[in-house]
Amino acid sequence: MNKKITRTLISVFYKDGLEAIVHELAKQNVEFVSTGGTEEFIKKLGYAVTPVEQLTGYPSIFGGRVKTLHPAVFGGILFRRDDAGDVKQAQEFKIAPIDLVIVDLYPFEETVAKGGSEEDIIEKIDIGGISLIRGAAKNFNDVLIVSSRDQYAEVLQLIKTKTCSSDLADRKRFAALAFDVTSHYDSAIFSYFNQEQNIASFKSSYQQGQTLRYGENPHQKGVFFGDLTKLFDQLNGKELSYNNLVDVDAAVNLVKEFEGDTAFVIIKHTNACGVALGASVKEAYLKAFQADTISAFGGVLACNQKIDLAAAEEINKLFFEILIAPGYDAAALDLLKSKKNRIILQQKISLTATKQYKSLLNGVIEQDLDLHTDSKEDLKTVTKRAPTSSEVNALLFASKVCKHTKSNTIILAIDGQMLSSGVGQTSRVDALKQAIEKAKAFGFELKNSVMASDAFFPFPDCVEIAHGEGIAAVIQPGGSIKDQDSINFCDQHNMAMVFTGFRHFKH
């Protein structure tokens, strides 16, 4: 059923985009009711405005905390126009209907993000605004609610094409948008307070959603919730897919481990098939590619330094899905953009998340992200022979890669280069055997290399196999009741082994 707009309440924090709406409403002789800065804004456009204080008989009080919380305002929004009892009461108390409510909310999230004081943050918890939005949305049968400046263009088009009226479908849509706004706002406020309280309640809200071509497989639907434009500028290529996004996440998290070095990683199905450091981007790429020249085909590549032309000329020889870097020389970018579907991303900021969650069974499971990176300070030498400085560098390098690889995993490496990986195996022995086989397949000599494990060795079999291949040093968390068996074997064969005390399972 169409409803004509004859009276509107407008009270907004953000006024950009509002002017055109005010002009259009005025052309249709709509009466304006407003407060504070918005009231002045409308007056400056040359239109008469009824102050809210005139309706309520009260001024704005308590520093602006109470302005609109009054039956003269909420009654005009909430009374049901088709209910005889409501209509009678509205007439009895001289409450005039309000047909359109344009209200946004104080910038709570923005104030938190800018590091505002607690006093500033608390004052940005909107009371009147959110109540007006909820009230108007609840009475969508009679009232049109505009709850965000993001909706201004849509509502302007609506009142233009429908001559300042709306139908039920319009009002119901805007009501749904309003409850999206209020629920997101409340989730943000709860998350702020829950930093101290640690209440066991899961709330996470993302208002931006991007429909993907499909999910993990073509028969599955997929949506990404979040704002990728904050992280990346896409400089070339097709739309990112579900699987692309999963691999991009793996790539940027792994390359982040090597801040201060020139690092290059190649990802396939979330696991690294090549990781290396170099004196240049070109050198790092070639060393990473060397680890698995087959799996790199169709992979996701990431570097933590600007891509120059020398590196781009080598990278361009490979068919890959995505390249991520913090910058590109102009000539390098021109070359890399020669393939129209090749996705080129420029990363603008580093990831800052501290929590991780996923749907599981009939609920959601949440945990802290594994943000611990093994360092020299973590290393406890448990064998008679301590690792050399070069071996320590190689062990820490391998441990960083291991942390980002599916369990059970073994990483074989030298200083600054992954030689191979055994990933996602049901036993650690199988992971090691897979890693050895891959290293040999790509021509690597394992003598004097190192081995990293994401978890402890329950038996000495892995160090026994490693010794047989000439592996000289081992890094692992430790913690098995049979640790001493592995230590004893290493001592008997002049191998070095260090414990970190940190397990890095990844499932």
Note down pLDDT in tens along the chain; length 507 residues. 789 999 999 999 999 999 999 999 999 999 999 998 999 999 999 999 999 888 888 787 787 787 778 888 999 999 999 999 999 999 999 999 999 999 999 999 999 999 999 999 999 999 999 999 999 999 999 999 999 999 999 999 999 999 999 999 999 999 999 999 999 999 999 999 998 998 999 888 988 889 999 999 999 999 999 999 999 999 999 999 999 999 999 999 999 999 999 999 999 999 999 999 999 999 999 999 999 999 999 999 999 999 999 999 999 999 999 999 999 999 999 999 999 999 999 999 999 899 999 999 999 999 999 999 999 999 999 999 999 999 999 999 999 999 999 999 999 999 999 999 999 999 999 999 999 999 999 999 999 999 999 999 999 999 999 999 999 999 999 999 999 999 999 999 999 999 999 999 999
CA distance 124 to 107: 6
What is the pLDDT, as a whole number, of residue 140?
97
Residue 230 DSSP one-character state: G
Enumerate the active-site residues. Answer: 138, 269
CA distance 304 to 503: 26
**Cβ(242)–Cβ(215) under 8 Å?**
yes
What is the pLDDT, as a whole number, of residue 11?
94
CA distance 375 to 372: 9
User: What Å distances lie between residue 77 and 60, 69, 142, 200, 382, CA to CA?
Assistant: 19, 12, 8, 36, 73
Burial (Cβ within 10 Å: 0-12, 13-18, ≥19) of residue 308: middle
DSSP 339-379: STT-EEEEE-S-----EEEEEETTEEEEEE-------GGG-
CA distance 466 to 507: 24
What is the pLDDT, as a whole number, of residue 346?
98
CA distance 52 to 58: 8
**Cβ(269)–Cβ(249) under 8 Å?**
no
pTM: 0.88
What is the pLDDT, as a whole number, of residue 416?
97
**Location of structure tokens 């009374």:** 79
Angle at which helices 71-78 and 84-92 cross, to 10°: 150
What is the pLDDT, as a whole number, of residue 36?
87
Tell me the three-class secondary structure of 134-187, residue by residue.
HHHHHCCCCCEEECCHHHHHHHHHHHHHCCCEECHHHHHHHHHHHHHHHHHHHH
Residue 82: other Cβ atoms inside 10 A: 9
What is the pLDDT, as a whole number, of residue 340?
93
What is the pLDDT, as a whole number, of residue 61?
79
**Cβ(346)–Cβ(306) under 8 Å?**
no
What's the CA dihedral at 457, 461, 464, 469 to 10 degrees?
-90
